[in-house]
Amino acid sequence: MGLQLDLPTVLLLYKTALVAGALSIFHVSRHSCRPRGFRPLAAAYLLLAIGAELAGQGEYQMLPLWLWTHTSLLLGTLGYALFWAGVRALSGRRRIPLPVLAAVPGGWLALGITTQFPLDNLLRAGAFHLTAAVALLASAHEVWRDRHTEPLPSRGLLAGLLLASAGIFALQLFLIATQATSPLGFARAFYALMFCHFGVALVVSSLSNERAEVRLQKVAQTDTLTGIGNRRWAMSMLPAQLPVGSAIAQLDLDHFKHINDHFGHAAGDRVLQAAAEALGNQLRGSDLLARWGGEEFLVYLPDAPTEHATAVAQRLCSAVAQIELSERGERIPVTVSIGLACVTRSGGPWADWLGAADQALYDAKRAGRNRVVVAPERRA
């Protein structure tokens, strides 16, 4: 025997999937590192489930016609307005004010009370399908527009499910407008929507997990004090073989132990933060800056011939020397010594070039600090 897709049965399955989806999303919201949007989504699912329950009861003539028609339309349109608001919040957008959110369902309710159009099945279905199609299309746009700023694997699938749901409602709206729909058509549409909406709930959970993984990876690769990349991050970003025309520099804050001993470790932390900011302000977006350890920093210039790299290193040295910090009314002197290795020939891993920069750094220290020393050109 085939599955009988009568409307009341499909609505029963549909609302069961909605309740399961709401519980799933609510559970994820309690453990998410970025819970915005999850609870409005869960509430939207529950409102849609209640609306489906009322419609199912109405199909069995267990509720007064005026009650279930008006109430199911209100809950359904409010549910999809809240759905869009939840997806928008999930994407980090500004929250929608409650009066704006309630404008569409409130407008349908006022129009319904005035004209009694919800008593007509097709008119009521048309209003519901129009609201759902627009809300889901807007939700798909909210998800898809962040594909570059937050390129997570689940984002495309979530946008696709939302777009498919919007398409189903739009198709049914067209059939309603042309009076070509039927109870079997509605049943098939809600049967497909059942899978789409439950899929959305699952993908939202997956999106939350992916965000948590990205956050943990960022924490593992970021220096918590200065906010720049740490040694692990720098090692993962450096190419195995530095290309000709690039440069790598080792930087070391001068007399940092004296700063800690004389001014205190809190002042030393402020020096590290100010130095990282000063260095970053002198670099391009394509350049690499990392805290290599302690008071040491690493700079990689991917496209900087010797003359340009030397000029950049001099600017870095000057920028650090211009840092203005004081402790208990006494100025904290901040300078940096820089060893620079310019890649003038191919061959050798980045660690070899960094070794040359490190040796140049020692030369800068011995020469009096607060200066740039360029490593001699390496022979083949």
Q: Which residues are catalytic?
A: 295
Distance in Å from the first CA to the final CA of the chain? 80
CA 375 vs CA 177, 250, 254, 338, 368: distances in Å: 77, 11, 19, 10, 16
Grouping H, G, I as helix, E, B as strand and the rest as coil, residue 266 is helix
> How many residues does this entry show for the chain?
380
Q: Where are the alpha helices (DSSP H) in 60-120?
A: 65-90, 98-101, 103-115
Integer Cα distance of 326 and 332 in angstroms: 5
For residue 334, give the nearest of 378, 248, 288, 276 by alpha carbon. 276
3-state SS track over 4-52: CCCHHHHHHHHHHHHHHHHHHHHHHHHHCCCCCCHHHHHHHHHHHHHHH
Cβ atoms of residues 194 and 10 within 8 Å: yes
- Say which residue the tokens 């997990």 belong to: 209
Task: Work out the number of other CB atoms within 10 angstroms of the CB of residue 151.
Answer: 10
Half-sphere exposure of 115 toward its Cβ, with a 13 Å CA cutoff?
11
